[in-house]
Amino acid sequence: MKKIMIVFVLAAVFFNIRAAEVINESASLAFSFMNIGVGARAAGMGNAFTAISGDLSSIYWNPAGLSTIKNPGVSMTYDMMFVDTSYQYILMGFPAGPGTFGFDLAYLRYGSFELRDQNGLILSGTTNPYNIGAIAAYGMKLTPEFSAGAAVKYVNQQVSSSSLTGFAFDLGAVMEEGFLSAGVSAQNIGSAGDFAVPLDIRAGLAAKIDAGEKNRVIISVDASYLLKGSVTINTGAEYAYSDMLFARAGYAIKAENSTLKGLSGLSGGLGIKLNQVAFDYSIVPYGELGTVNNFTLSYTFGNGNNKEK
């Protein structure tokens, strides 16, 4: 029975991937912000996070990863991006039944812009475009080694007096065997009016290695295919000392040649955890565009041992 459930879940994932491909191949894309990664921890590890469970950011990366969260928690992140752009979101997780519910509320602001007509002439006044999004996710274990999850997304884009709304969903699975884990997820299966949202298909592997009583290392690698985009390989590592201090590094490799000048692709981060409170920071340079700084503050109710660190 368990093997039948696993086959059914994987078949559903790949069926919906193909259905989304058909939709996306014939439509223009909208809501590119849906591919901005979530969480300073993941950003510091190069966004190689598909196979890592037990973190609230699994709401975004792979809802199946919520299955190992045993205590309620909340996480708030502020991403300082380019120019006046910033991205803020709050994640919440609540164990219920055989799995865990997760919720994400996000707000992306682009700053203020002058109004112009179709000929480029400046008009009076300014506009402050923004995106908002919400995710409801659930992940659960189908067997001791295999987890599955799904998420539903609502997104809205506001530019001056124009508004666009879209809906999408994610499917994901994680298989864990000893110190190894493998994950697969299909993100952003859906549409927004006559537009398609940016479907992202991800697969990842992770190894969690105990190097002595107080030392732990996670090494992870992801392959991501963004429809109408490119293939990206993400690699990351995290070193943990006494489940309290953390150092992270990552590197992203894109299949096509980047036109960015300067340092890009690398990422790094630090973290500290004191009982139920954790603070994570990451820095990601994007060459001539600038540098993104991510700050995440988390609180776990109970014993504070949700994260696989």
Query: Per mean pLDDT, which range of 102-106, 122-126, 129-133, 295-299 is the poorest?
Result: 122-126
Residues 67 and 293: their CA atoms lie apart, in Å, by 29
Tell me, rounded to whole angstroms, the distance of Cα 221 from its chain centroid: 14
Q: State residue 19's pLDDT score.
A: 45
> Residue 303, class by beta-carbon neighbours within 10 Å (0-12 exposed, 13-18 middle, 19+ buried)?
exposed
pLDDT of 305 higher than 70: no
Mean pLDDT of the chain: 83
CB atoms within 10 A of CB 253: 12
What pLDDT band is residue 263 in, cutting at 50, 70 and 90?
A: confident
Q: State residue 34's pLDDT score.
A: 80
Q: Where are the domains of the chain?
A: 2-300
The 8 Å CB, 24+ separation contacts for 304-307 are 304/71, 304/273, 304/275, 304/276, 304/277, 304/278, 305/70, 305/71, 306/54, 306/55, 306/56, 306/68, 306/69, 306/70, 306/71, 306/73, 306/93, 307/54, 307/55, 307/273, 307/278
Q: State residue 146's pLDDT score.
A: 93
**Top-level CATH class of 2-300?**
mainly beta
The candidate with the shortest Cα–Cα distance to 219, out of 61, 37, 46, is 46
Structure tokens that stand for 72 in this block: 């309620």
Residues 289 and 291: their CA atoms lie apart, in Å, by 7
Q: State residue 153's pLDDT score.
A: 94
pLDDT one-digit tens code per residue, 167-208: 999 999 999 999 999 999 999 988 777 777 888 899 999 999
Question: Which one is predicted more confidently, 301 or 157?
Answer: 301
pLDDT one-digit tens code per residue, 13-67: 544 444 444 444 544 566 777 888 899 999 999 999 999 999 999 999 999 999 9
Residues 44 and 41: their CA atoms lie apart, in Å, by 5
Q: State residue 116's pLDDT score.
A: 58
